[in-house]
Amino acid sequence: MRGPHNIIRLIRTGATLERSGAMKVVLDAFDAPPLVRGVLRGLVWPFQWLGIKGDPEAPPLPRALTALGPAYIKFGQVLSTRPDVVGSDLATQLRILQDKLPPFDIATAKAEVEKELGQPVDEIFSEFSEPVAAASIAQVHRARLAETGAEVAVKILRPGVEKAFRKDIDAFYFAANTIEFLSPGSRRLRPRDVIEHFDNGVSSELDLRLESASASEFAANTANDPGYQVPAVVWEHSAKRVMTLGWAEGTPIGDNDALDAAGHDRHALGSRVLTLFLNHALRDGFFHADMHQGNMKVAANGDIIAYDFGIMGQIDEYTRRVYAEILYGFIQRDYKRVAQVHFEAGYVPADQDVDEFARALRAVGEPIFGMDADRISMGRLLSYLFEVTERFGMATRTELILLQRTMVVVEGVSRSLDPRVNIWDVAKPVVTTYIEKSLGPRAVLNDLARTARVLTRFGPRLPEMVEAVLMKQNETPMRPRDSFWLWIVLTGGTGVTLGAIAAIAAMVMF
């Protein structure tokens, strides 16, 4: 990483925000105190001549983020889903970052398709439109397959986007390292790990073969979800920088006026967006992690159509259970249990007080339950949550970053459809069903059966495992725990279920 280059890049970032007027917009949106305003603007004002001018016709913040490049646009897309944090006017301005950025020309797009797919565009497609949507990484064209006549969407990466992202992420790493060095207290937030997580996600997004695989897996998982559609991937016309999938015809989910004109129930849509996300995260452990308004449409029959699968989240079964228990505890207003789950999962250091943490969580939860959803200040709530994490020494969990970020985005989309949508009311039946299936007696039996299948796979190795245990016995006296494992091995071929139960008993008792 090149230090001087990154210093200049970060200075230019601040200078661009100041030159475009976006610095004041951001500080106003987050209600920054006078001291912070004075320090930040004082630092960047002398360098504002270094800032990128951008499009003077655009509003200040979209103008600055677009000028700075794709990594900054991603941040703006998240803010665009949170009118409750940045205000409805600013959120509306930022929505142009979702799919209405300046496109590259159609000749370049066709040349890229031909290069990637190895055939002239006219041989593959009987129709190929001008760009219909353009975002930070790619743009989309509407086309028709020459062979079948089917309408498709052709997604093409922007020329040079890989280099642009690399430059920005390089600067982000430098900033994270500098913050960790100058502020030891920030290390609990693990800024470098957060940037690394972002880096890995972007790397996946820049290979459309991986996105095609994600879309295919996601479609299989959600095939039976009512009111939900995922376009099919056209594999023979997809490659690293070009992806072809079925065309999604519908009303953009961010256009409330058009949804009303089409007769759609926006409250039902907002609730369904939340329900679908929770089902995918808890049931499948594989979820769409970029669910802003630019990546969803509403079909004429009311189905939600999802697309753009470059960023997908995946969480293991243990983490899903922890997440469900936390949500369920909040729903039941059992803050002591929520606190205990945090401690059991290691999210809060063991030297903290569980009762104090439970009281802090109550201060988070009670205002939500005692107030209409459209009166909740998410900005104030998020600020207090940050204070709680700092007070109790909670480190950033990189494995949960995408889940937490998507939760924020999805709730923002739902509330933009109808501010009265309450996440806890919608989540209750989904989480309760998952808890009943995953934490009850049936779940225990399923876990034991899975353990048994694992033990069965070791069948061919049982003789050598027994021999190894017996040889060890000749060297040292066998401990009670070892005797349990020997019994498991000896009964593994015919009594694997009993062996699995014994294994658990051995771990608990010894």
Tell me what the mean pLDDT of segment 90-109 comes to.
85
Query: Binning pLDDT at 50, 70 and 90, where does residue 392 land?
Result: confident
Pick the catalytic residue: 84, 99, 290, 308? Answer: 290
Residue 306: what are its φ and ψ, rounded to 5°?
A: -105, 145
Residue 120's pLDDT is: 92
Rg (CA), the chain: 26
The residue whose two tokens read 């999604």 is 248
Mean pLDDT of the 233-246 span? 96
Cα 492 to Cα 487: distance, rounded to the nearest angstrom: 8
What is the maximum alpha-carbon separation in the chain? 83
Residue 458 confidence (pLDDT):
66
Are 206 and 161 spatial neighbours (Cβ–Cβ below 8 Å)? yes
More confident residue, 150 or 447: 150
Cα 245 to the chain's mean position, in Å? 22
Confidence of residue 12 (pLDDT cuts 50, 70, 90): confident
pLDDT over 90 (residue 233)? yes
3-state SS, one letter per residue, for 346-375: CCCCCCCCHHHHHHHHHHHHHHHHCCCHHH
Does residue 353 carry a catalytic annotation? no
Range among 33-42, 57-66, 110-119, 441-450 with highest mean pLDDT value: 110-119
| Identity of residue 290 | D
Average pLDDT over residues 459-485: 63
What's the whole-number mean pLDDT along residues 1-9?
Answer: 67
Residue 233, helix vs strand vs coil: strand
**Cα dist from 211 to 85, 113, 225, 310, whole Å:** 30, 17, 21, 5
pLDDT of residue 348: 87
Looking at residues 486-499, what average pLDDT do you find?
46
Instruction: Give residues with Cβ within 8 angstroms of 381, minimum separation 6.
Output: 364, 367, 368
- The position carrying tokens 């479609």 is 219
138 strand-pairing partners: 157
Contact 71, 13 (CB under 8 A): no
pLDDT at 503: 43
Identify which has the larger pLDDT, 175 or 415.
415
HEC sequence for 298-343:
ECCCCCEEECCCCCEEECCHHHHHHHHHHHHHHHHCCHHHHHHHHH
What pLDDT does residue 137 have? 86
Q: Which residue has the higher pLDDT, 169 or 131?
A: 131
Q: Is the pLDDT of residue 6 over 80?
A: no
Percent of the chain at pLDDT > 90 equals 30
The helix (H) or strand (E) run that includes residue 391 is helix 378-391
Mean pLDDT score, 320-346? 88
Say whether pTM exceeds 0.75. no
CA 201 to chain centre: 9
pLDDT at residue 508 greater than cutoff 50: no
Least confident range from 260-264, 378-382, 437-441: namely 378-382
**Does the structure show a pLDDT above 50 at 506?**
no
- Coil, helix or strand for 462? helix
Which of 109, 111, 116 is closest to 134 using CA atoms? 109
Predicted confidence (pLDDT) per residue in 439-450, tens digit: 666 666 776 777
Residue 131 token pair:
């760009």
Tell me how far apart the alpha carbons of residues 129 and 229 are, in angstroms, rounded to a whole number: 24
pLDDT the model gives residue 98:
74
pLDDT in tens, 294-317: 899 999 999 999 998 988 988 888
Out of 9-23, 386-400, 483-497, pick the least confident: 483-497
Count of beta carbons in the 10 Å neighbourhood of residue 159: 14
Q: Which tops the pLDDT comparison, 350 or 422?
A: 350
What integer is the mean pLDDT of 64-89? 76
Q: Which residue has the higher pLDDT, 214 or 31?
A: 214
Name the least confident of 81-95, 176-190, 260-274.
176-190
Predicted confidence at residue 382, as pLDDT, reads: 58
